[in-house]
């Protein structure tokens, strides 16, 4: 399982490797530079040409130090290399200084100026080794150069390789550190290939990170895997063994999910959720309908059952059947039904997914919702819904982050979980999931797992249903949310272009089979 690290985690791992004599800083830097060169050779094997030209941009810290190693190695491979560096040699940290001096035995270091324009030179490659995990404030005075690089890159030349992290990006949040009023494109360098070391960082997966990294390689620099134990946030995955059904089980062993719907004409969302719950493997799924929608829903369902739930009292009486062990409220529910049903549902103490209307209906008084939430509850907002329930936590995500580490979507989800007492799943290509105790996971549909066809109406309803189905099957809360988000994205990837929400539940059997369930 891949764990995403913070910059602090990485510094600790590096420090303990040096203390334990696993490697010196100089060795790690040499390996880092070498891995970058190997990765770019593997990425662009068209390098048979002899007269290749690279511009290497080196910052004032150890990221710059990696850059001087890359410059030296490319030179050794016959590249024509020009190096533009920040800071005076004697002010660089020791390993970076030594590598700059080694480069100065080969070529010169031109002081980096914001007036540099690579368009005139047309290099084949730009190596961005300005800033990595140590960026703490907006990059000053290089906006023109960054724009120039972006414009040339858009024309197909040069290729840009980022050392560890695209400069300007915050390693912990994936957000571009920039002054209010500046554009991300003038505050960070977008890369074609990003080569990071040991393990990916949170910033490679969150927010703008993937679009600035483009492609990500995590290269081994000889740090021990054990050093990472207990650190980082796992990427969500699903386990075949947990998803398999016991051969001796009967339907009630796999739980009974209840999905509440709104009135006539707005039952599609709950039906999508119910289908998601059924395909996720719940033993039974029932839709709770008001009188006005009974015929409409009955005409549309077959394997899914139906029960009348007109008000809170009826819901309480339906929930006397303790075999109903997982509830889903929100998709298409309507504000009035939310107010009537959500308090009853939450007080019943079952695994409960609250989505859509069940969140926004509490916009005026989120505390009224939070008062009754318990550890079996999962809130599944997208950013708009999140902003309504947690406006103060959403605000820093909307403002330009002027210092690093910047508040991340993960920080916001963790704070929301702690405040609400429920697991919070904040949706997006970088879905973050946090439980009230602080445990978290990231279900990212980025890089080779991109699932852009999920951006269509109703897919969130299916996600709520899949998670409800897993809760019904007995998955622990965080696991249900994480596995559900993973399966949902895999279903979208499996179906591919043209996906609409209805396709997602029907794709799940193929996802299970591919996982070896």
Ligand X SMILES: NC(=O)C1=CN([C@@H]2O[C@H](COP(=O)(O)OP(=O)(O)OC[C@H]3O[C@@H](n4cnc5c(N)ncnc54)[C@H](OP(=O)(O)O)[C@@H]3O)[C@@H](O)[C@H]2O)[C@@H](O)CC1
31: enclosing H helix or E strand = helix 25-43
Sort 198 into a burial class: Cβ within 10 Å, 0-12 / 13-18 / 19+: buried
d(CA 167, CA 160): 11
Pairing of strands 324-329, 305-308: unpaired
> Does 197 interact with ligand X (rule: CB under 6 A)?
yes
Please calculate the CA angle 121-125-128 and round it to the nearest 5 degrees.
105
C-beta closer to ligand ADP: residue 68 or 386: 386
End-to-end CA distance of the chain: 18
The answer on whether 364 is annotated among ligand-binding residues is no
454 binds ligand ADP per the rule CB under 6 A: yes
φ/ψ of 115, rounded to 5, equals -85, -5
Q: Is 263 annotated as a binding residue?
A: no
Residue 280's binding partner among ligand X, ligand ADP, K ion, none (Cβ under 5 to 8 angstroms by kind) is none
Task: Give the span between the Cα atoms of 343 and 322, in whole angstroms.
Answer: 17
Task: For the beta carbon of residue 363, count every other beta carbon within 10 angstroms.
Answer: 14
Q: Counting beta carbons within 10 angstroms of the beta carbon of residue 497, is it exposed (0 to 12), middle (13 to 18) or buried (19 or more)?
A: exposed
Task: Select from K ion, ligand X, ligand ADP, none the partner in contact with residue 421, using the beta carbon and a kind-dependent cut-off of 5 to 8 Å.
Answer: none
**Position among 9, 14, 128, 355 found at the interface with ligand X (CB under 6 A):** 14
Residue 318 gets the label, from left (phi > 0), alpha (psi -120 to 50) or beta, of alpha
Over the window 459 to 498, marking each residue x when it contacts ligand ADP by CB under 6 A and - when it does not, the resulting string is: xxx-x------------------------x----------
Q: Are 286 and 304 in contact (CB under 8 A)?
A: yes
Q: How far is the CB of 36 from ligand X (least distance, A)?
A: 9
Please, what is the minimum distance in Å from the beta carbon of residue 113 to ligand X?
14
Please report, for residues 31, 123, 244, 419, the alpha-carbon distance to residue 213 in angstroms, rounded to integers and kept in the order given.
Answer: 21, 20, 36, 33
Closest distance between ligand X and the C-beta of residue 20, in Å?
13
From 128, 430, 479, 490, residue interacting with K ion (rule: CB under 5 A): 128
Binding segment toward K ion, per CB under 5 A, in 123-131, 176-184, 311-319, 501-509: 123-131
* Binding residues for ligand ADP restricted to 327-386, rule: CB under 6 A: 356, 382
Q: How far is the CB of 138 from ligand X (least distance, A)?
A: 6
**What is the Cα–Cα distance from 165 to 209, expressed in whole angstroms?**
9
30 binding ligand X? (CB under 6 A): no
Give the contact letters, 200-239, x = binds to ligand X (CB under 6 A), - = no.
---------------------x------------------
Tokens (6 digits) for 305:
């059952």
| Shortest distance in whole angstroms from residue 97 CB to ligand X | 11
Q: Tell whether residue 144 is among the known ligand binding residues.
A: no
DSSP three-state, residue 99: helix
- Binding footprint of ligand ADP on the chain (CB under 6 A): 356, 382, 427-429, 431, 445, 451-452, 454-455, 457-461, 463, 488
- Binding footprint of K ion on the chain (CB under 5 A): 128, 132, 162-163, 167
Name the binding residues for (6S)-NADPHX: 62-66, 132-138, 164, 269, 332, 382, 461
Name the binding residues: 62-66, 128, 132-138, 164, 167, 269, 332, 382, 427-431, 460-461
- Binding footprint of ligand X on the chain (CB under 6 A): 10-11, 14, 28-29, 32, 59-66, 93, 131-140, 163-164, 197, 221
């Amino acid at each position: 399982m891949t764990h995403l690290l913070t910059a602090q985690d990485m510094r600790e791992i590096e420090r303990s490797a040096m203390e334990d004599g696993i490697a010196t800083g100089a060795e790690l830097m040499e390996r880092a530079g070498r891995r970058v060169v190997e990765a770019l050779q593997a990425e662009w094997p068209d390098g048979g040409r002899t007269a290749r030209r690279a511009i290497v941009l080196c910052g004032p810290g150890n990221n710059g130090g990696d850059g001087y190693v890359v410059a030296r190695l490319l030179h050794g491979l016959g590249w024509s290399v020009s190096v533009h560096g920040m800071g005076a040699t004697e002010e660089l940290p020791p390993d970076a200084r030594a590598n700059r001096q080694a480069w100065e035995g080969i070529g010169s270091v031109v002081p980096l100026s914001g007036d540099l324009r690579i368009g005139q030179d047309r290099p084949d490659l730009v190596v961005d080794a300005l800033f990595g995990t140590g960026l703490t404030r907006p990059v000053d005075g290089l906006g023109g150069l960054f724009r120039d690089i972006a414009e040339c890159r858009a024309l197909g030349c040069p290729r840009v390789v980022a050392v560890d992290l695209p400069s300007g990006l915050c390693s912990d949040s994936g957000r571009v550190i920039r002054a209010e009023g500046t554009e991300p494109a003038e505050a960070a360098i977008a890369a074609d290939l990003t080569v990071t070391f040991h393990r990916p960082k949170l910033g490679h997966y969150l927010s703008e990170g993937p679009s600035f990294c483009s492609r990500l390689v995590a290269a081994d620099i000889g740090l021990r895997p054990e050093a990472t134990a207990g650190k980082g946030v796992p990427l969500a995955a699903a386990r075949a063994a947990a998803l398999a059904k016991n051969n001796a089980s009967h339907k009630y062993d796999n739980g009974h999910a209840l999905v509440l719907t709104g009135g006539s004409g707005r039952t599609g969302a709950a039906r999508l959720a119910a289908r998601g719950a059924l395909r996720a493997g719940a033993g039974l799924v029932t839709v709770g309908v008001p009188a006005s929608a009974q015929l409409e829903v009955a005409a549309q369902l077959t394997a899914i059952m139906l029960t009348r739930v007109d008000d809170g009292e009826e819901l309480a009486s339906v929930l006397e059947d303790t075999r109903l062990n997982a509830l889903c409220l929100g998709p298409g529910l309507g504000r009035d039904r939310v107010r009537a049903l959500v308090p009853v549902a939450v007080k019943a103490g079952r695994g409960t997914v609250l989505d859509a209307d069940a969140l926004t209906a509490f916009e005026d008084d989120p505390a009224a919702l939070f008062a009754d939430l318990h550890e079996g509850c999962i809130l599944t907002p997208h950013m708009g819904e999140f902003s309504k329930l947690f406006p103060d936590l959403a605000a820093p995500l909307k403002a330009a982050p002027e210092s690093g580490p910047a508040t991340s979507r993960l920080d916001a989800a963790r704070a929301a979980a702690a405040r609400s007492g429920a697991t919070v799943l904040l949706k997006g290509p970088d879905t973050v999931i946090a439980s009230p105790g602080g445990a978290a996971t990231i279900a990212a549909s980025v890089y080779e797992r991109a699932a852009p066809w999920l951006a269509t109406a109703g897919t969130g309803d299916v996600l709520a249903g899949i998670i409800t189905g897993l809760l019904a099957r007995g998955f622990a809360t965080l696991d249900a949310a994480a596995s559900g988000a993973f399966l949902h994205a895999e279903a979208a990837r499996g179906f591919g272009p043209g996906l609409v929400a209805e396709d997602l539940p029907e794709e799940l059997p193929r996802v299970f089979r591919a996982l070896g369930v």
